[in-house]
Amino acid sequence: MSAPIVIVGAGQSGLQVAESLRSEGWEGGILLLGEEAVPPYHRPPLSKAYLAGKAEEAQLFIRSPEALAKKRIDFRPGSRVAALDIARQTLTLADGSQLDYEGLALATGARNRALPLPGAELDGVFGLRTLDDTRRIADALAATEAVVVIGGGFIGLEFAAVAAAQGKRVTVLEAAERLMARAVPPALSDFYLALHRAHGVRVELGVSVAAVLGEQGRAHGVRCADGREFEAGLVVAGIGVLPNDELAAAAGIACDRGILVDACSRTSAPNVVASGDCTVTRLEDGSLRRLESVQAAVEQGKSAAAALLGRERPFSARPWFWSDQYEVKLQMAGLAAGADRSVLRGSQEAHAFSLFHYRGEQLLAVDSLNQPQVHMLSRRMLDAGRSPTPAQAADSGFELNTVLATPAPATSS
């Protein structure tokens, strides 16, 4: 028998590679190796609906083992790959067994940055990345009244919102001078600062955390560099993630803070593709771009499957993301880096508005809060390369869909 296509990583992207291979006509073997002991699951609800008790664990799973078997996908949970030999096209598992592959997809994901503090090893200190993390956090949250969140990014703030909604005393400690500074403009940072404080969350900006305090092996507080201490029976760290590129790098595959891939998810090694949070793309100007999103996981997975079959399917759509905090849904389309002005559409007081970000007259990105129709139209406009004028975007009475209906300007040959 010929060797199968092997997929390392059974998250959203690895699953997408497997299912796209089948839907694109691959009739050979497909082996899906998952390091966790559970079937593929949705990760975004972990810090949102699932932790808030609004979704059952069974709802998290994308495909059951039985559903995968019907598609002739050999799913093996609890399988950790220890080494990769790209010359021999073999994998070595942690138990010492070896597997041959005809094609290989690396969808190894990312892991939480370790909290580099004294006391980080204490019981009651968690990162929030996996289903097992969330199970343990849910148990700890039920047993405590005071919570400290280290890091004011999406994950930390989503957890803070869930904890505050359950009546806990929540403190958020952020080293930067504003919340979500890497992802949103200052106007949105200010909005979310006010939103969290209105829900009773204590937010401290520009603070450095020195240590997690504990007794008898359990955390009971956090000390900042300025000497202030905050009570906490539960500490959740949301200080970013690191791509799991060590397996690829050790095998000689090009990496640079992630596995380097092109628009079609191809790596520097023959018959090896990569997709999802473990990857990074080098742009034309030489800069690197990592996209940690469901969209990127899915679309890169489709590109990776096509590449393994010798086809071109570049991932070219503008990126989009979302975050749920309290009653506010933030939906982001495009990337605002390089924008030189932004215009407001809607009402900040009503928690229903969008920020349109421009470079000159060209629309780069749109951040929408509780405006799902604007978000969907924005994605369509960005993918089509169409821009409302800043004046049109700011006018809530202007119908944005007319921008898509207008013939595109002629281009010179």
Q: What is the pLDDT of residues 3-54, one digit of tens each?
A: 999 999 999 999 999 999 999 999 999 999 999 999 999 999 999 999 999 9
Q: Are residues 335 and 187 in the same domain?
A: no
Compute CA 192 distance to the chain's CA centroid, rounded to the nearest angstrom: 19
**36: domain CATH number?**
3.50.50.60
Which of 191, 219, 237 finishes a domain?
237
Give the end of a domain, one of 252, 278, 308: 308
Residue 118 domain-assigned (yes or no): no
* 304 plus 344 within the same structural domain: no
Counted domains in the chain: 3
Whether residue 365 sits in one domain with residue 386: yes
Report pLDDT for 179.
98
Query: And the tokens for 1?
Result: 């028998």
In-domain check, residue 371: yes
Regarding beta strands 229-231 and 81-85, do their DSSP bridges make them parallel or antiparallel, or are they unpaired? unpaired
Residue 283 has pLDDT above 90, yes or no: no
Inter-residue contact 126 to 232 (CB < 8 Å): no
Domain membership flag for residue 321:
no
To the nearest whole percent, how much of the chain has pLDDT over 90? 93
Residue span of the structural domain in which 225 resides: 125-237
CA 34 to chain centroid? 18
Q: Quick one: 229 and 245 in the same domain?
A: no
* 32 in the same domain as 12: yes
* CA 37 to each of CA 47, 126, 206, 366: distance values in angstroms, whole numbers, following the listed order: 20, 20, 39, 38
Candidates 80, 99, 97; CA nearest to 89 is: 99
User: Would you give the DSSP letter of residue 411?
Assistant: -
pLDDT for 413 equals 40
Of the listed ranges 184-198, 246-260, 274-288, the one predicted with least confidence: 274-288
Report yes or no on 412 lying in a domain. no
* Contacts of range 401-407, beta carbons closer than 8 Å, 24 or more positions apart: 401/377, 404/377, 404/380
Q: From 237, 272, 292, give the residue that closes a domain.
A: 237
Q: Are 136 and 220 part of one and the same domain?
A: yes
Q: Residues 349, 288: one domain? A: no
- Is 221 part of a structural domain of the chain? yes
Residue 285 — pLDDT band, cuts 50, 70, 90? confident
The answer to whether position 119 is within a domain reads no
Considering the domain architecture, whether residues 131 and 226 belong to the same structural domain is answered as: yes
Average per-residue pLDDT for the chain? 95
Q: What is the pLDDT of residues 174-228, one digit of tens each?
A: 999 999 999 999 999 999 999 999 999 999 999 999 999 999 999 999 999 999 9
Indicate whether 143 and 165 sit together in one domain. yes
Alpha helices in 185-276 (DSSP H): 186-198, 246-250
CATH number at residue 386: 3.30.390.30
Q: In this model, does residue 412 exceed pLDDT 50? A: no
Whether residues 185 and 278 share a domain: the answer is no
Helix (H) or strand (E) holding 381: helix 372-384
Mean pLDDT, residues 325-333: 97
- Mark whether 132 and 215 lie in a shared domain: yes
Residue 64 lies in a domain: yes
Render pLDDT for 55-65 as a digit per residue (tens, 0 to 9): 999 999 999 99
Q: Is 93 found in the same domain as 37?
A: yes
At 335-378, the pLDDT tens digits run 998 899 999 999 999 999 999 999 999 999 999 999 999 999 99
* 228 occurs within a structural domain: yes
